[in-house]
Amino acid sequence: MLCSVKHLYFFSYAQLCAGLCGLLLLSISAAEAAESVVIPVPDYRPPQTVQRVAVPIVPDSKVSNVLIVTGESSYEHDWTGVNTQLRSLMLSSGTFDVRVLEDPRMLTAQVLTRYDVVFINYLGRWNYSDSEEQRWGHTAEQALFDYAKKGGGVVLYHASFNMGAPSWPAFERLAGGTMRPQYGSRRSPPDAFLVRIVDHDHPVTQGMRDYIWTMNDDMYTNMYWDPKAKVRVLATAYDDPDLYTEAIAGPKYPPSLYTPEKLAGMSAMAADNPQVWTVEYGTGRVFCIALGHGPDTLLHDGVKSLILRGTQWAATGGVSLPIGPKARAFTE
């Protein structure tokens, strides 16, 4: 009897081992099969970004309250990654407290009373050629304009200059300049280019080098400028016709559209084009920066310094934040 039980024990243990091995092999086969499945992806999606998110700061009446208005942009823009990077930069500076609103339709005059500056990172078109623009609605739009006219600070950022052109003239007045591709506005080919600081007397640009670099960025050129807007240009970039040649520009710029004859007839070609400017709007301060395509662009001292200092100026009228080491003017 003892012998039978012993044999039964060994037999059961062997069966158990065999069963477990079988299950393991099945699991491995299933995993391999799962890995071999081709998952369809869309034609384009911005690269995912993993960034440190700064924790909220201790409430302090001395900091400026920033509201980032966002929630949509064109297919080329990683607006979620940019918002995370912007929020981290601002909170880490110790000068701002930041909230993010991802549905501009919720904007009201009452909401805006809590904030010193509204930072707009929004474009209501998935593709620049889309005929329909996802607008905010009359209440939200009017709340923004009234807020600025009565002294509120506004920062308009990168893709936002593709809004409203030409279907929203009230926004074009606020922005001063906007992109109108159907009327000749364009993006110059280089992804990295020099930005020239042309006004060193403004609080935002005081102490900056004459030239700074931006990387992985867009140079907006031949923008439409509202003739009634009070614009002060702080920085420009040169749109060089040599950069449109096939060898440099690449397949995104068809050579047939950029022959020497056609380039010669394009407005604002071989010229300096505004990239950073301010607008007087009522009693409010509007800071406009066309730079800042993606989260990686915000890592560079020049762009980062302009954004942080421009936001502080829009909020307070003054600037105390330091300039990044690689954007400071040389002093002996």
How many domains is the chain built from?
Answer: 1
Neighbour tally for 213: CB within 10 Å: 16
Q: Which residue has the tokens 């391999």?
A: 32
The verdict on residue 32 lying in a domain is no
Nearest by Cα to 230 from 176, 149, 182: 176
CATH number at residue 281: 3.40.50.880
- For 114, the domain range is 64-327
The verdict on residue 38 lying in a domain is no
The verdict on residue 41 lying in a domain is no
Per-residue pLDDT of the chain (332 residues; tens, 9 = 90+): 444 444 444 344 445 444 544 544 444 444 443 344 444 545 666 666 666 666 666 777 789 999 999 998 888 888 888 999 999 999 999 999 999 999 999 999 999 999 999 999 999 888 877 778 888 999 999 999 999 999 999 999 999 999 876 778 899 999 999 998 888 899 999 999 999 999 999 999 999 999 999 999 999 999 999 999 999 999 999 999 999 998 898 888 888 889 999 999 999 999 999 999 999 999 999 999 999 999 999 999 999 999 999 999 999 999 999 999 999 998 75
The answer to pTM > 0.85 is: no
Helix, strand, coil percentages for the chain (3-state, nearest 5): 35, 20, 45
The verdict on residue 129 lying in a domain is yes
The verdict on residue 299 lying in a domain is yes
Helix (H) or strand (E) holding 278: strand 271-281
The verdict on residue 95 lying in a domain is yes
The gap between the terminal CA atoms of the chain, to the nearest Å, is 99
The verdict on residue 6 lying in a domain is no
The verdict on residue 48 lying in a domain is no
Would you say 246 and 277 are in contact if contact means Cβ atoms under 8 Å apart? no
